[in-house]
Structure 1
Amino acid sequence: MVRLVLVLGDQLTDSLSALQQADKHTDVVVMAEVAAEAEYVPHHPKKIAFLFAAMRKFAVHLRAEGWQVAYTKLDDPENAGSIPAELLRRAQDCGAQTVLATEPGEWRLIHALQDVPLTMTLLPDDRFLATHKEFEDWAEGRKALRMEYFYRDMRRKTGLLMDGDKPAGGKWNFDHDNRKPAKPDMFRAGPPKIEVDPILTEVLELVAARFPDNFGTLHPFQFQTDRAGALHALEHFVTQSLPDFGTYQDAMVEGDPYLYHAVIGLYLNAGLLTPLEVCKRVEQAYLDGLAPLNSVEGFIRQIIGWREFVRGVYFLEGPDYPRRNALNHQRKLPAFYWGAETRMNCISQAVGQTRDLAYAHHIQRLMVTGNFALLAGVNPAQVHEWYLAVYADAYEWVEA
């Protein structure tokens, strides 16, 4: 009996649970570029191009591995427009009644799949280190959810930067060492260059034609779009920027969008890299004496601490979490978030960089655009939707 195996645009991982439980000899992988996902917020053109190109290349990879892949491009005349509709169309084509899928990362898509009139099996997304049950058990009975304590449990679970049952270097957190201002004359490599190939060229042409009015600059395009490129970006960061990442991770320099940041969040969130492989590679640099502990610990904390924590909170709190407004802030998002002029240089720089790159590092997001929105009393739903739209690494569980 033929089953459909759904692979979403943020599930581009060979070890995906749905692929691990599928049979490449009988099952059909379904992948689709659909308007419902590309248009539910006005995504940055670079974000759309990154995901479509990465999806197409992953489909090529799966076919080379022996999988049968039913892939729908955005401009396919038969494109049904949404993931559920594409599943129904492919089910009719293949005579399938069953869908095997890894749980989506957003409540919106989970509910959409549950409404599909096919037999749907949703498997846990084991690319994350903490299961929903583990996070629920950790959170139960606590007066407040503190990332730091969760992070320590993740260190113990993974064994990362551990000396027996103690943290390497005698401390769990070296953030106190990571607050120096960057010096303008310091060398900063930035992310590696990319090679534009026929798949990416075709996608860029499609996005330019289909989304000409979306906020954001499409060219020049600077993201890697397959696993090999993502691994190259990781290695480039480890060898070129990691040694100074920790010390200067909270710095901002006008005109320098990257400093010593890795710029691999979009590859992690799309599945081209996995969190444990990234953390182990970074840890190895410390073990080899090539990067200091404050840099390595600070980086690993972002992934097994903050990244896992915000996902845990998102699923713990439930589908209404992104729409909550505890402070009852009601102001509209100012027009300068979408590129209108402002005399506030920090906002102008952060938004201009976001427009050009679909990227800003965490200090720009937290302490500039995020902090202003909080102090100004902007409705958090509008702030959330802005972040979701403009950054290439943004998903609802990340931004909620």
Structure 2
Amino acid sequence: MKYALILGDQLSTGLSCLRELDKSTDLIVMAEVSAEARYVKHHKQKIALLFCAMRHFAKTLQNDGWQVHYHHFDAESAQHSLLDVVAALTHQHKPSNLIMTECGEYRLHHDIISNWQHRLGIPVTVLDDDRFLCSKQRFADWARDRKQLRMEFFYRDMRRSTNILMDGKQPVGGAWNFDSSNRRPYRGEPPLPALPAYSYTDDDKAVFDLVDKHFPDHPGDLSRFNWPVTRDQALTALADFVEQRLPWFGDFQDAMTQGEPFMFHSLLSTSLNCGLLNPREVCDAALAAHRAGKVPLNATEGFIRQILGWREYVRGLYWLMMPTYAANNALNNSRSLPSYYWSGETDMNCMREAFNNTFDHAYAHHIQRLMVTGNFALLAGITPGEICDWYLAVYADAYDWVELPNTLGMVMHADDGLLGSKPYAASGNYINKMSDYCKHCRYSVKTSTEHDSCPFNSLYWHFMSRHRDRFSSNPRMTMIYRSYDKMADSKKQALTQHATKLLENLDNL
């Protein structure tokens, strides 16, 4: 007898390890364990989502004729880790070997390949995860001998190899991306569509009770839980997005609006990242809508770029660069994460809005993550490891392979420009341009050095000043330093003094 361990982000019937098993003789193992739920303080909705989705998937496998051993979470259990569960079953059933599809986090992957075979006393076979459109090896081949690993060039290569949005050898529409068309602020039209509301079984509700009882100190709550936890629900989410929000996604993908956490975004990343959806079918659904004339090209391309481009790119970069990548701190940041990242209590309205979305829904869209909470952490010089752990904990779609490159590289520029050619730093003017947040804030976005000035403004120039030696020769930043050099010395001094005061009192903003 062989057996396979299926993880919480591997809820796909096409999983590579399943193809190596025999339904009549072999065993599938799934487990809810404390070690995986607690290695960071995962949002309650994230834990509930995975436990519910795992239980539904186990039933799907059983209905398909598989033998499944499912270890339910038990706070009193002596089996705290996945290895504990597997070891107990190995002792009981004496299988010939353990087969796994490779996991998505270096932490667990390293433990499996380094320790499990010795601890279990049987062979452990780890197979490629072929649910992605680019294998680890293919990405490594693409990256070999390149001086710069820019996502744009990887994305073009993926477009060619998959024939997605291609017209022969040329991109559909004559351009590789339409980013310049995707930066409109939202002014109330068209109306924002409601999300589908999902129904939950008694077993799902029992999971909610379990999470409330055993994870009381974790962030968030379950009162607004509305995530797909089954394959059918995930397909409903995909169809609803393509019909109701994708047509407007391109225009408004960078927009933010007070009290509107979802805008025209897909919210499909939780289903993609745990395996309820696969990336090709999501891209195909968007393509089909475009071909039918229902979705404009800028929206179709902008959405597909996030999946075929960014999602595949950050995974490839993660596995190419780990484990040393996680220790990068190119800007030598050392400040602690302010307390409001966990409480949400701050007078900065844009930050408060992003935190409210985060704690209410285990979600914030990419501009809130990158240009609000991330931008602030960058300007304030927060230690990369602290902000990376925060993003990993509080978002339902966060797994180390996707979260770490996005946060450490894209948000914090801690990888010295490996992922992005310039830091995503911005003053309050960007937030004011792309949102109505500033109208609801006690801080003034129009000033920089007054007691009630938007903190982003002086912190932006302080960031540019303290990192001048690193960035002034960057051709994409010369205009910034030209503007800074035109300021009067008194203005520069006032900016520095105000920003220094803010940095000394970060927890009180």
TM-score in terms of structure 2 length: 0.77
Instruction: Determine whether 1:333 maps to 2:337.
Output: yes
* Amino acid across the alignment from 1:52: F
Equivalent position amino acid for 2:361 in 1: L
How many angstroms does 1:113 deviate by?
Answer: 1.3
- Name the structure 1 match of 2:36: 37
One of 200, 213, 233 as aligned partner of 1:196: 200
Structure-2 residue corresponding to 1:12: 11
Aligned residue number for residue 54 of structure 2: 55
Of residues 154, 160, 173 in structure 1, which corresponds to 2:177? 173
1:190–1:258 Cα contact (<8 Å) kept: no
1:376, CA displacement in angstroms?
0.4
Residues 350 and 372, structure 2, Cα contact 8 Å, conserved in 1: yes
**Amino acid in the other structure paired with 1:206:** L
What secondary structure, in the 3-state scheme, does the structure 2 residue paired with 1:57 have? helix
Question: Matched residue of 2:29: which SS?
Answer: strand
Structure 2 residue 226 is matched with structure 1 residue 227: no
Report which structure shows greater RCO (CA 8 Å, sep ≥6). 1
Q: 1:300 to 1:185 in 2, by over 3 A?
A: closer
Aligned residues of 1:45 and 1:211 also touching (Cα < 8 A): yes
Deviates more, 1:179-188 or 1:259-268: 179-188
Match of 2:331, SS?
A: coil
Whole-angstrom CA distance in 2 between matches of 1:84 and 1:395? 20
Offset at residue 348 of structure 1 (A): 0.7
Corresponding position of 2:92: 93
Amino acid at match of 1:263: L
Correspondence 1:398 to 2:402: yes
1:354 aligns with 2:361: no
Q: In the alignment, which residue of structure 1 is the partner of 2:127?
A: 123
Deviations 1:14-66 (Å, cap 9, x if unpaired)? 00100122111111000000001000000000000000000000000000000
Letter in 1 for 2:71: T
How far is 1:77 from its partner?
5.2
Question: Number of paired residues?
Answer: 399
**What residue identity is the alignment partner of 2:108?**
L
| Structure-2 residue corresponding to 1:252 | 256
Structure (1 or 2) with the greater helix fraction: 2
Tell me if 1:72 matches 2:76.
no
Dislocated runs of 4+, deviation >4 Å:
76-79
Q: Please show how residues 129-140 of structure 1 align to structure 2 within 5 Å.
A: 129-140=133-144
Partner residue in 2 for 1:109: 108
Whole-angstrom distance in 1 between the partners of 2:190 and 2:288? 25
Question: 1:135-146 maps to which residues of 2 (within 5 A)?
Answer: 135-146=139-150
- For 1:76 and 1:355, the matched residues in 2 are separated by 24
CA contact (8 A) 2:75 2:214 kept: no
Letter paired with 1:221: F
| Residues 344 and 356, structure 2, Cα contact 8 Å, conserved in 1 | no
Matched, 1:27 2:36: no
| CA distance, structure 2, for counterparts of residue 160 and residue 209 of structure 1 | 46
Q: Which structure has the larger Rg?
A: 2
> Which of 138, 157, 160 matches 1:156?
160
Displacement, 1:76?
7.3
CA contact (8 A) 1:286 1:292 kept: yes
**Aligned to 1:364, what secondary structure does the other structure show?**
helix
What is the deviation of 1:146? 0.6
Shift of 1:127: 0.5
Shift of 1:359: 0.2
Q: Could you list the per-position Cα deviations for residues 303-335 of structure 1 after superposition, in whole angstroms to 9, with x for gaps in the alignment?
A: 010000111110000213222211110100000
One-letter code aligned to 2:68? V
3-state SS of the aligned residue for 2:359?
A: helix
Tell me the equivalent position of 1:289: 293
Q: Is the 8 A contact 1:79 1:86 kept in 2?
A: no
Alignment partners' CA distance in 1, 2:277 and 2:290: 20
Task: Report the Cα distance in structure 2 between the residues aligned to 1:277 and 1:190, rounded to whole angstroms.
Answer: 23
Structure 1-normalised TM-score? 0.98
- Cα pair 1:224 1:230 within 8 Å, conserved: yes
Q: Name the % identity.
A: 50
Between 1:32-41 and 1:319-328, the stretch displaced more is 319-328
Moved more, 329-338 or 68-77: 68-77
Please state whether the residue corresponding to 1:247 is helix, strand or coil: helix
1:215 aligns with 2:184: no
Kindly provide the amino acid, as one letter, of the partner of residue 26 in structure 1: T
Secondary structure of 1:326's match? coil
Q: List alignment gaps of at least 5 residues for structure 2.
A: 405-509
Is 1:191–1:263's contact at 8 Å kept on the other side of the alignment?
A: no
More displaced stretch, 253-262 vs 163-172: 163-172
SS at match of 1:8: coil
Counterpart position of 2:485: none
Distance 1:78 1:342, change over 3 A: closer
**Alpha-carbon contact 2:344-2:355 (below 8 Å) kept:** no
When the two chains are superposed, the root-mean-square deviation of aligned CA atoms in Å is 1.1
**Cα offset for 1:181?**
0.6
